[in-house]
Amino acid sequence: MASPEKIKQLDDAVRNTNYERMLEVLEHTDLSQINQSGTDASIALITLIRHGKHMSSEFYKCVQLLIDKNININLKDKDNRRTALSWAAEIYINEQMRKVRLLKELTDENEITVNELAVTNHKLKQLRMTIELFEKELGIVHPKSSSRFSNRSNLCERLQKCQEEGNRNYISGINKSDTIDVDGTKYNALELCFKNKWLIPAAYIFDKYDADSKITVWRENEKENQDKILELILREDEGIPQLLCTILKKFQQKSNHYPACYRKIMDVIKNKNLNDLYSNLNGKDFLFRTPLHYAIRYADDLTVVELLSYGASLGSTNISAPVQRNNCYKYWRMFWRTIYGWCKCCKCKNTKQNMQKDDISLKLLNSEQDDSSEENVMI
């Protein structure tokens, strides 16, 4: 077994995320002894993930070094019985959710929050690379259902295993409508995750949901769970445009859940940097339509004005500049006049009537020709 002195040296180097020191210690250590389960040295990788310096430029190099030295990445810690991948997945998801909360709180004057966002973005990049490395080593980049976990009665066990090991194989093939009886109450997979605070499988499951299903889950849960669910939904930027398109399509339904969900999402994403904000507002759904397209068709005046003011477009390949709020009505009016020639359908009649109720819009209406050459905004 590796000497206590060597184990202590390795532990110190891991906690300080010191690549050169780790390399030096490992070169003079019997690696077969390090991989013996139950030793402090055997969980060096877990220690690095949990207690290492994620901001260090050497963090990912240290992870790669341990894997290159054939450390057993399937070993579990003694106290929690969890693997390095499980800890990395949980820290990564928590950091994503922390970023969502920071964006929600961000103001132009809050320099501390801006700095924290820069830090968390760097940590997310390092952790993402680490997780991809683990998954490649474990062969779970393209997960397949396991016959051992094909029975619905094993639902709870599968979710727990996913939480403990961070391995999405355990939940691949889970049907969101599958339920299990626990103490006389039926729970589906997500409800079990929230009941037991299993964040990792909950995040994986949300990643597989389409936008409409995500909104349904958000809408149907208790109020105290809605913020947590929304944080899970908004972890990754890639799905936000599709989410907004789906919400805006349903604005005219009697339920007020969709406007409320839209409001919460906009309160978060409007604080992103301009490139991220434009990307979220100008992304397209499977029909290659942007959120602004659905806002014009289905939403109210203020929603269209808000999207325009943050740089939303109808699908131009060029990124639009933000439109001043007092000019938004003019561009909306020009769009409807171009398509319908005014008053050829009830929608544009209503639009014109609504615009005339607003003094600012009425002034812009009368001065359109004078102002049309002053702006350079592409919708």
pLDDT tens-place string over residues 199-212: 999 999 988 888 88
- Asked whether the predicted pLDDT for residue 302 surpasses 50, the reply is yes
Residue 28 forms part of a structural domain: yes
| Pair 192, 82 in one domain | no
Q: Given this model, what pLDDT does residue 252 score? A: 85
| Pair 5, 105 in one domain | yes
Residue 317 forms part of a structural domain: no
Q: Given this model, what pLDDT does residue 131 score? A: 95
- Asked whether the predicted pLDDT for residue 176 surpasses 70, the reply is yes
Per-residue pLDDT, averaged over 43-67, amounts to 93
Residue 337 forms part of a structural domain: no
Residue 182 backbone class (left: φ over 0; alpha: ψ -120 to 50; beta: rest)? beta
Q: Given this model, what pLDDT does residue 321 score? A: 53
DSSP H helices in 106-172: 111-138, 155-165
* Helix (H) / strand (E) containing 282: helix 274-282
- Asked whether the predicted pLDDT for residue 356 surpasses 50, the reply is no
Q: Given this model, what pLDDT does residue 241 score? A: 93
Rounded distance, CA 208 to CA 176, Å?
10
Where among 179, 208, 237 does a domain terminate?
Answer: 208
| Pair 128, 36 in one domain | yes
Q: Given this model, what pLDDT does residue 4 score? A: 78
Q: Is 39 helix (H, G, I), strand (E, B) or coil?
A: coil
Residue 20 forms part of a structural domain: yes
Minimum mean pLDDT among 146-155, 214-223, 329-338, 340-349: which range? Answer: 340-349
Q: Given this model, what pLDDT does residue 348 score? A: 44
Q: Given this model, what pLDDT does residue 182 score? A: 83
Total-model pTM: 0.78
Rounded distance, CA 330 to CA 335, Å?
9
- Asked whether the predicted pLDDT for residue 122 surpasses 90, the reply is yes
| Pair 34, 115 in one domain | yes
Per-residue pLDDT, averaged over 102-127, amounts to 86
Question: For helices 301-309 and 325-340, what crossing angle results, to 10°?
Answer: 110
Rounded distance, CA 96 to CA 17, Å?
22
Q: What Å distances lie between residue 10 and 25, 41, 252, CA to CA?
A: 6, 7, 62
Where among 208, 234, 256 does a domain terminate?
Answer: 208
> Where does the pLDDT of residue 290 fall: very low under 50, low under 70, confident under 90, or very high at 90 and above?
very high
Nearest in space to 379 (alpha carbons), one of 287, 306, 286, 282: 282
| Pair 60, 149 in one domain | no
Rounded distance, CA 258 to CA 137, Å?
42
Q: Is 186 helix (H, G, I), strand (E, B) or coil?
A: strand
DSSP 108: T
| Pair 137, 147 in one domain | no
Mean pLDDT of the chain: 79
Residue 96 forms part of a structural domain: yes
Residue 149 forms part of a structural domain: yes
> Considering its fold, how many domains does the chain have in total?
2
Residue 180 forms part of a structural domain: yes
Where among 208, 228, 259 does a domain terminate?
Answer: 208
Rounded distance, CA 38 to CA 2, Å?
12
Minimum mean pLDDT among 5-19, 115-129, 133-147, 322-336: which range? Answer: 322-336
| Pair 93, 192 in one domain | no
Rounded distance, CA 83 to CA 279, Å?
35
Minimum mean pLDDT among 52-66, 136-150, 218-232: which range? Answer: 136-150
> Where does the pLDDT of residue 371 fall: very low under 50, low under 70, confident under 90, or very high at 90 and above?
very low
Q: What Å distances lie between residue 313 and 175, 227, 233, 283, CA to CA?
A: 37, 28, 24, 9
Q: Does residue 275 or residue 126 have the better pLDDT? A: 126
- Asked whether the predicted pLDDT for residue 364 surpasses 70, the reply is no
Residue 184 backbone class (left: φ over 0; alpha: ψ -120 to 50; beta: rest)? left
Residue 76 forms part of a structural domain: yes
Nearest in space to 196 (alpha carbons), one of 152, 157, 150, 148: 157
Minimum mean pLDDT among 29-43, 160-174, 247-261, 298-312: which range? Answer: 29-43
* Helix (H) / strand (E) containing 225: helix 223-233
Sign of the CA dihedral with 91 first, then 96, 97, and 101 last = positive
Rounded distance, CA 303 to CA 133, Å?
42
What is the 3 state secondary structure string of 329-356? Answer: HHHHHHHHHHHHCCCCCHHHHHHHHHHH
| Pair 86, 132 in one domain | yes
Question: For helices 44-51 and 84-105, what crossing angle results, to 10°?
Answer: 10
Rounded distance, CA 57 to CA 62, Å?
10
Q: Given this model, what pLDDT does residue 332 score? A: 57
Per-residue pLDDT, averaged over 62-86, amounts to 89
> Where does the pLDDT of residue 19 fall: very low under 50, low under 70, confident under 90, or very high at 90 and above?
very high
Q: Given this model, what pLDDT does residue 345 score? A: 42
DSSP 251: T
- Asked whether the predicted pLDDT for residue 338 surpasses 60, the reply is no
- Asked whether the predicted pLDDT for residue 353 surpasses 60, the reply is no
Q: Given this model, what pLDDT does residue 378 score? A: 36
| Pair 153, 135 in one domain | no
Minimum mean pLDDT among 70-74, 133-137, 318-322: which range? Answer: 318-322
| Pair 114, 175 in one domain | no
| Pair 3, 135 in one domain | yes
| Pair 154, 76 in one domain | no
The range of the structural domain enclosing residue 121 comes to 1-141
Nearest in space to 40 (alpha carbons), one of 62, 13, 61: 13
- Asked whether the predicted pLDDT for residue 213 surpasses 90, the reply is no
Minimum mean pLDDT among 90-104, 181-195, 289-303, 327-341: which range? Answer: 327-341
- Asked whether the predicted pLDDT for residue 79 surpasses 70, the reply is yes
